[in-house]
Structure 1
Amino acid sequence: MRVIDPSFEILNAPDAKAMLRHIELAARTCYKSEEKINEGSAADLIKRLIKMGHHSVLEHSSLSVRFICDRGVSHELVRHRLCSFSQESTRYCNYAGEKFGKEITFVRPVFWKKGSLMYKTWEGAMKEAEKAYLYLLNNGASPQEARSVLPNSLKTDIVVTANIRQWRLVFNQRCASAAHPQMRQSMLPVLDAFSKLFPVFFEDIYSDFQSDIDKFTGMSSES
């Protein structure tokens, strides 16, 4: 049994200036104001459009992120239907194989401190789930059958691709205080990274959640 913390990787990080120019050209098509394009015009225009709520132009560029998270988080992610998803399949992945170290990997709950009674109870349940899964496989069950005993804490890889408008929607919903703590743990660092790489698109949302980003960084280090 292996226990890890969630993580992410941005798979396509295009040049920010190129993204801005691309979206500016699309936006100025609406007003036939292409002649106003200059070295610094893109950022100013896009900031104004975001402030005005004219977000449709943000659909012309997309970003892909590989999340390593638990199955509970992935079940919530795929509800964002306008995104595209590719996810590790428990039907075909045999975690008893060498590729997976002959063990199950689980994602550590952010809300229970390691060593606490709650954490120990969770840890015991994960060990039993792994034991049952491996027993089923060793006695002739297929991976798609044995997966029936796997819990929400099972680690999964999922690639999410969305346009800029959708990422903004995802961050506003999944970074909010009402979101599940482990969803926030996965999503707030992505917002932090996006705001540094592409500030024009995400700096307003980042400012709303900056204190939460700092808080979850501290929570993760204590887990």
Structure 2
Amino acid sequence: MCRHLPSARLVAYLHDSPRIIASASKLTLSPKDFTSISEGMSGERAEEWVRELVKRGHGSPLEHSLFVFEVVCSRACSHQLVRHRHASFSQLSQRYSDKYLRGMIKKACELTGIPYAEDYGAFLRVLGSLSASSPGFHDLLDVVAEAFIVPPRVVEAEDKGFLEALLRGVESYYRAVASGISFEDARYLLPQAVKTRLLVSMNARELLEVFIPLRTCSRAQWEVRNVAWQMLMELRRVAPELFKYAGPRCVLQDARVRAAPCTLDEYLSGSCTPTVERCPELVPRDRIAECIRNALRGAGCGHGDLEPGS
């Protein structure tokens, strides 16, 4: 369990989205009403309509859908998520909750053997004792991961100084709160790595045409890329007809210029070769599949958990 990494899980979605989207698409051409179209729309036909939507870039029917995720990530990452305008967000407030920080204090109590007490002075004593005991990197990571997202490169390098800097931020925060400074002012002392929780709602158009292409790309920042790949794997599980074509921008770009769109699995397996000379990030055609694999490789706690086709 990699608690120092972000997580994303699908918590709700509009069931039968592929059929609804396919029926909405056919409605633009048919004299029949939606109910008649929908009742006559088989799974196979729905998949054909979706494939045509992806190929032609006819995105408006994709908006007749909704997918809701719970995301736990850093504040640095959440700032990137909320830039997506065609989405809805509800986020844990730092003005009213120090949930993750208290979780870290409880974990520090376990390591130091000090009983947990609901008192800011006690929190500071626990943090002082933790620093004085000079725990090893992995013991310290186990504590810090309760409240912070830690970059994989920091973990690979076992950079204890990085973790200690995060702890100093928490100590400064609780020292300020203990002195009477409000939560909303004390939070200015916290590092951007501090965890937050969001509920994120998007429709299939935002996911297929904007969020997933941009954020699963190997050029995306590592944490938001991690979140995006987790979201994509969740989507493929519940609506494969829609999201088997989803992937980085090179996948979307290639789908628009070929006779029939390829799935992400087909690109990764090599059974489908990109037709575009270069992707939007200027990666040449013969390196696109490997670039996608590299993006996926850095996207999980053991990227096999996120492997397409699994």
Smaller-chain TM-score bracket: 0.7 to 0.9
Distance 2:157 2:21 in 1: 50
Taking the aligned partners of 2:102 and 2:166, their CA distance within structure 1 comes to 18
**Structure 2 gap ranges (5+):** 107-117, 124-145, 248-263, 269-291, 304-310
Question: Does 2:206 correspond to 1:203?
Answer: no
| Shift in CA distance, 51/152, structure 1 to aligned 2, threshold 3 Å | same
CA contact (8 A) 1:133 1:149 kept: yes
The whole-number CA distance in structure 1 between the counterparts of 2:196 and 2:218 is: 24
- Rg bigger for which structure? 2
**TM-score of the superposition, structure 1-length normalised?**
0.85
Q: 1:7, 1:68 within 8 Å by CA — same for their partners in 2?
A: yes
Q: Shift of residue 213 of structure 1?
A: 6.0
In the TM superposition, structure 1's runs of 4+ consecutive aligned residues that sit over 6 Å from their partners are none
**Which structure 1 residue ranges, 5 or more long, are not aligned?**
none
Pick from 136, 161, 179 the counterpart of residue 121 of structure 1: 161
The aligned counterpart of 1:22 is 20
Report the RMSD for the aligned CA atoms in angstroms: 2.6
Within a 5 Å distance, the mapping from 1:38-49 to structure 2 comes to 38-39=41-42, 40-49=44-53
Letter in 2 for 1:128: R
Contact 1:110–1:185 at 8 Å: present in 2 too?
no
Question: Shift of the alpha carbon at 1:91?
Answer: 1.3
1:137–1:143 CA contact under 8 A, matched in 2? yes
Distance 1:197-1:213 versus aligned 2 partners, 3 A rule? farther
Separation of aligned partners in 1, 2:168 and 2:156: 18
Write the distance in 1 (CA, Å) between the matches of 2:164 and 2:104: 24
Corresponding residue SS for 2:199 = strand
Q: CA deviation at 1:98?
A: 8.0
> How far does residue 112 in structure 1 lie from its aligned partner after superposition?
2.2
Higher relative contact order (Cα pairs below 8 Å, separated by 6+ residues): 1
What's the offset of the Cα at 1:46?
Answer: 1.2
* Greater percentage in strand: 1
**Paired residues, what number?**
215
| 1:85-124 to 2 correspondences below 5 Å | 85-95=89-99, 101=106, 105-114=147-156, 116=158, 119-124=159-164
The question of whether the paired residues in 2 share the 8 Å contact of 1:6 and 1:67 is answered with yes
Deviation sequence 1:63-95 (CA, Å, 0-9, x none): 010100001110000000111000011111145
Distance in 2, matches of 1:125 and 1:69, equals 19
Could you give the per-residue CA deviations for residues 145-167 of structure 1, whole angstroms, max 9, x where no partner exists? 11010111000001110110001
Pairing 1:134–2:216 present: no
Decide which moves more: 98-107 or 69-78: 98-107
Counterpart residue number, 2:4: 4
